Chain A
Amino acid sequence: MKVKDMVKILEGTVLSGEDKMEKEVKYIGAADMMSDVLALSKPDMIILTGHTSIQAIRTAIVTDLLGLVFVRGKEIPEKTIEMAKEANLLLVHTNTYMYAACGKLYNAGLRGIDERR
């Protein structure tokens, strides 16, 4: 699945990293704890999160994520978006809640990193 398909399924808005629409979604996961992202993520991964502070962006930069999807229609601090743009990180915003967002993507065939080799 490509990033643009994922955005479509989540009825999301792209806030940063518009050039990544044709990229393949290789790895995906969901977490609100940044320490868990640091511990378990893979490079080029997309993380669904409700965590919108700049710490999320720093974590994404440090772990070489492809990008973040902010769920639950959260209001996103200006600084967060700015920093993501600077790092050319994919940033997607969706009103879908975490559970449903994960469910929809899973249903469309995206599996978690613990389910794949």
Chain B
Amino acid sequence: MNGDNKYCKLTKYIRIFQDLKAEEIMTKTVVTLTSDKKMSQAKEMMKIKKVSGIPIVQQDKTLIGIVSIEDIILALESGTIENRIEKHMSKTVISVREKETLSQIVEKFNRYRYGRFPVVDKTGKVVGIISKEDILHSILEKFSLIYLHDEKRKSKLNQDRSLITGESLKISEAEFHYNINSTEISAAGEGAAHLKQFLKEQDIEEEIRRRVGIATYEAETNVVIHSKSKGDIYCFLKKDRIIVRVIDFGVGIEDLNLAMKEGFSTAEDYVRELGFGAGMGIPNMKRFADKLVILSEKKVGTQVEMVFYLS
């Protein structure tokens, strides 16, 4: 890889992260207490909710302080744990605005050394909380989104919307469609080859074509090998990116965490004989796509959405 290419990649990543805002990073279900409650209630709340700090608010959610584990320890030591929170909370609380960017937030973590920051809206009301863990998660998600399918997202299966951005992606409006109509392993890859040819006709640059081709090949192979059903490949061309969706209505992935591991595979021997089933499928998709989301529900099917940015 030459220097220019590396530079392009780097600026691309900066672009991905620089627009991450507090409101995207924060945990929205934030536990708060009003200051008339007792310190012992704060302690119980921390224990139950497994948090290390609780923002203290007025009735209208306006932030007025914070209680941390250190405050609890102090109250326990001084025998004041049954006192009201207002006496013991830290009143000089550093908060983050919804629209603050990742770099500003990281700077706050470095400067103040707190474990978490409440996030407030324009009027000073608490809308979320950010811990270092939240930052880590949001960055990982931004790099490659992997969602284990759960009940909340069930409604999203079969919807004409992007799993990543929520934008409308009507399959009837896809620029490319290929029907995976065979469970014959020998047919695996045909769709990816067609898609690659299609992208060539659209004058998409070679490096991107290759990445799309490889990731789609793996996704298609998974449908053929694992889903035990038919499926579809859709490709959407946007001004700045290519979106590929591979959808099947098969058996679903039982344990996505396991499926993500390099080297893990449930493939049968005949598949391995064909040079697949080495447990590289999803890791390879992740390697070549800029973003990846996999939704899977047992006995309902699997949807893969991949985004490739045009440099």
Contact = CB atoms under 8 A, between A and B. Distances in A.
B210 A63 contact: yes
B311 interface: no
B231 interface: no
Contacts of A32: 275
A45 B240 CA distance: 29
A35 interface: yes
Contacts of B275: 32-35, 37, 51, 53, 55-56, 59
Q: How large is the interface on B (under 10, 10 to 19, 20 to 34, 35 or more residues)?
A: 20 to 34
B190 A58 contact: yes
Interface string A36-67: 11110001000000010111101101111000
A69 to B, nearest CB: 15
Contact of A34 (B192, B276, B287): B276
Contact of B276 (A35, A61, A62, A64): A35
Interface residues of A, number: 20
B308 interface: no
B301 interface: no
Contact of B281 (A35, A55, A56, A62): A35
Contacts of A51: 274-275
A63 B213 contact: yes
A34 B186 CA distance: 13
A54 B206 CA distance: 23
Contacts of A55: 185-186, 188-189, 274-276
Nearest to B190: A58
B189 A64 contact: no
Interface class of chain A by DSSP: helix
Nearest to A56: B275
Contact of A62 (B196, B206, B278): B196
B171 interface: no
Contact of B193 (A35, A36, A39, A62): A62
Interface string B186-219: 1011101100100000000011001001100110
A52 to B, nearest CB: 10
A55 B284 CA distance: 17
Contacts of B283: 39
B237 to A, nearest CB: 19
A102 to B, nearest CB: 18
A1 to B, nearest CB: 22
A95 to B, nearest CB: 21
B280 interface: yes
Nearest to A49: B275
Nearest to A64: B210
B210 A58 contact: no
Contact of A58 (B192, B206, B278, B281): B192
Contacts of A63: 210, 213-214
B218 A38 contact: yes
A110 to B, nearest CB: 20
Nearest to B265: A35
Contacts of A56: 275
Contacts of B287: 39
Residue among A37, A51, A55 with max Cβ neighbours from chain B (10 Å): A55
22 contacts: A33-B275, A34-B275, A35-B276, A35-B278, A35-B281, A37-B275, A38-B217, A39-B280, A39-B287, A43-B210, A51-B274, A51-B275, A55-B188, A55-B275, A58-B192, A58-B217, A62-B196, A62-B210, A62-B213, A62-B214, A62-B217, A63-B210
Given A58-B193, A63-B213, 17 more contacts: A33-B275, A33-B280, A34-B274, A34-B275, A34-B276, A35-B275, A35-B276, A36-B278, A38-B280, A39-B284, A43-B206, A43-B210, A51-B274, A53-B186, A54-B186, A58-B217, A62-B214
